[in-house]
Structure 1
Amino acid sequence: MLSDVLRRCLHRMVVFTAAAAVCFSPAYAGTAVSGPVLDTNFPDPDVVSAQGVFHAYATSGNGKHVQRATSRDLVRWSAATRDALPVPGAWVDPAEPRVWAPEVFDNGPGFTLYYTARHRAGGRQCVGVALSSAPQGPFRPVGEGPLICPLDQGGAIDAASYSEDGRRYVVWKNDGNCCGVRTWLHLQSVSADGTRLEGEPVRLLTQDREWEGGVVEAPTLIKRGRQYVLLYSGGPYHTDAYGIGYAVADHLTGPYIKAPAPLMTTDTLSGSVRGPGGQDVVTGADGRDRIVFHGWSADRSRRMMYTADLSFSGGRLTVGAGPASQ
C-alpha cells in the first residue's frame, strides 16, 4: 500500500523536460532544515569561506550597514560586533541608506563586497562596490558613484558574483518592481576584482510564474557538472508567499528553463520556515552543498538565518542530503 508521502508525490508529478519526470513533494524539505542557526534579524545571508572560517553577511540591521557572523561548521554561528561596511559610498543617501543584500567574494589579493543602497540623487536602489584586505572588513567604497544603476529601469539590486575559467561575472536585478517596469535578472562581465563593468548585460530570467507574484530577485548562480543552476527568490518578501525557485541551463547565458514548481516555500517546509528566501549556496568542508537563507520569526520582528543540505542530480535541485558537490 502506498505511503501518504508517496501518494502525494505521485499526485503532484510534473514533467520538467521531455526526457525526465520530476516529483515535488510538499513534505521532503521540512526535516532537512536546520535552524534558525542565527536567531537574530539577519536577512539575505551571503556566505564566503576564508582560511577555514565561514563568514556570513546580511542586510542592514542591529545598528550596522552590513552585518557579519562567523562559523567553522555552518551550524554554530557568532554575530560580529563591528559593521563590515562602516561608511557606504558617497553616492548613498545618508538619511535613508537602505543597505541591502551584501555579496562578498575572494578576489585574490583581498575581498570584494557588492551592496545595494539608496542613490541620493536618483532616489532608487543601486549597486555599489567596496574592497577590503580581509573578509571581516572594514570594506571601503570604490569609485565616486554606484557600479550598477540603470535609473530608467528602476535601479539595480541584489548583485551576486560568479566566476568561471578565470573570468568574473555579476548577476543583478533591475528593480522594476519599484515603479511598474519589467524586471529581469541580468548577467554581466566584470573585472577580476569586480569593481568595473565589462561589456553589456545579458537578460537571463523574468517573472512569469504565478507563485512569483510578479517578483524575481536575489539571484545565486552555481555550476554543477555541465549545467548552470540559477536560484532566485520570488513573491512579496514580507509575507509567507515568499519562496525560492530555480532554473537550469546548458550554457552560461542560457536559455534558463525554470523548474515547474518552487524549491522552497512556507508550504513545502510545512510551516517550519515562513517566507524562505534571500538564499546563497555554500560548499562545506565535507564537499556537500548547503543552501543558506532567511525566514520570518513568528512575530514578524526579524528574518532569521537557516541552512539545509542541497543536492543537484538529473537536472533538478533537491533539499536534503545528497552526493558531494562536483
Structure 2
Amino acid sequence: MLTICLLLPLRGLCLQQVSSAPAVNPSFAAARRSIEIQGKNFPDPTILNVNNKWYAFATRTIASGIRVQIHQGLSDDGILEAPALVKSGSTYFLFFSSGCFTTEHYNVDYATASSITGPYTRTASPLVETGTGGLRGPGGADIIRGGERIVLHANNGGGRSLYTATIRISGTTVALT
C-alpha cells in the first residue's frame, strides 16, 4: 500500500491565503502567505466538509492525524502528490498525481472509498495521462463546478499550462466527456 496523504480534522484554520491583481492579469504571482499546522508544512491541500466537520488532505505532511492508504500501488517513481477530494453520492473520490511532473509519466489518477478515512481502492489505469487529448505530463488536478469539470496542468513544450475538461462521475467511476 502507498500512503498518499494525511487526513486532519480542522478547527477553523485558514491553510493558505492567496491574493492577486484584478482578473485583467491572471497571474497569481502576487502576495501569498502560507499558514502552518502544528509547525509543519501543509502542501497541496484539499478540503472537504463532511457532516459539518472539515477535513484536509495533503501530501508530505508530518502533522498528527489519520494516514490514508491507497491499495493497488502501481509504479509512481515514488511520488504521489496533489490530492483533490470530492464526494458523489455515497462515494469519496480521491484524485491525485503520480510520477514526477518533469517526465512524460506524470498523470492524474483516482481512488474511491465509502468512508472518508478509507480504505481507498485505486483504479487500474490513470484518468489522464500523456497522450490524453494531446497532453504531455498532465497532473496537479482539481475538480470544480460540483464535480463536472477537471482543471490540471500539463507540459506545453516551454513550461506548463492550465487545461480544463468536462468529466462525468457515475457510481465509482470517472470518465472524461
TM-score interval for Structure 1 and Structure 2 normalised by the shorter chain: 0.7 to 0.9
2:152 is equivalent to residue 293 of structure 1:
yes
- State the distance in 2 between where 1:229 and 1:236 align: 22
Q: Which residue of 2 aligns with 1:256?
A: 120
Alignment of 1:42-61 (within 5 A): none
Q: Which residue of 1 aligns with 2:109?
A: 245
Q: Which residue of 2 aligns with 1:265?
A: 129
Candidates 252, 269, 274, aligned match of 2:136? 274
2:37 is equivalent to residue 147 of structure 1:
yes
Alignment of 1:1-326 (within 5 A): 70=23, 79-80=26-27, 83-85=30-32, 88=33, 128-129=34-35, 146-147=36-37, 149-150=39-40, 156-174=42-60, 200-205=64-69, 208-210=73-75, 212-267=76-131, 269=132, 272-283=134-145, 289-298=148-157, 301-320=158-177
Q: Displacement of 1:163 after TM fit?
A: 1.2
Task: Indicate if the aligned counterparts of 1:248 and 1:256 stay in contact, CA closer than 8 A.
Answer: yes
- State the distance in 2 between where 1:260 and 1:148 align: 36
Q: Displacement of 1:168 after TM fit?
A: 1.1
Report the number of matched residues.
159
> Structure 2 vs 1, CA of residues 313 and 78 (structure 1 numbering), >3 Å: closer, same or farther?
farther
- State the distance in 2 between where 1:82 and 1:213 align: 30
- Give TM-score scaled by structure 1 length: 0.44
| Identity between Structure 1 and Structure 2 (%) | 28
Point out the structure with the larger strand share: 2
Task: Indicate if the aligned counterparts of 1:206 and 1:216 stay in contact, CA closer than 8 A.
Answer: no
SS at match of 1:281: strand
Task: Indicate if the aligned counterparts of 1:265 and 1:275 stay in contact, CA closer than 8 A.
Answer: yes
Task: Indicate if the aligned counterparts of 2:113 and 2:119 stay in contact, CA closer than 8 A.
Answer: yes
Q: Displacement of 1:314 after TM fit?
A: 3.0
Q: Displacement of 1:213 after TM fit?
A: 1.8
- State the distance in 2 between where 1:157 and 1:289 align: 25
Q: Displacement of 1:66 after TM fit?
A: 6.9
Deviations 1:168-227 (A, max 9, x none): 11101126xxxxxxxxxx9xxxxxxxxxx9xx41111359312x2211110000000110
- State the distance in 2 between where 1:69 and 1:233 align: 30
> Structure 2 vs 1, CA of residues 241 and 280 (structure 1 numbering), >3 Å: closer, same or farther?
same
Q: Displacement of 1:157 after TM fit?
A: 2.3
Q: Gaps (5+ residues) in structure 1?
A: 1-64, 71-76, 89-127, 130-145, 176-185, 187-196, 321-326
- Give TM-score scaled by structure 2 length: 0.77
Q: Which residue of 1 aligns with 2:10?
A: none
Q: Displacement of 1:78 after TM fit?
A: 5.5
- Paired letter, 2:170: S
RMSD: 2.8
- Paired letter, 2:139: G
- Paired letter, 1:83: A
- State the distance in 2 between where 1:167 and 1:315 align: 23
- State the distance in 1 between where 2:69 and 2:136 align: 25
- Paired letter, 1:290: R
- State the distance in 1 between where 2:125 and 2:155 align: 21
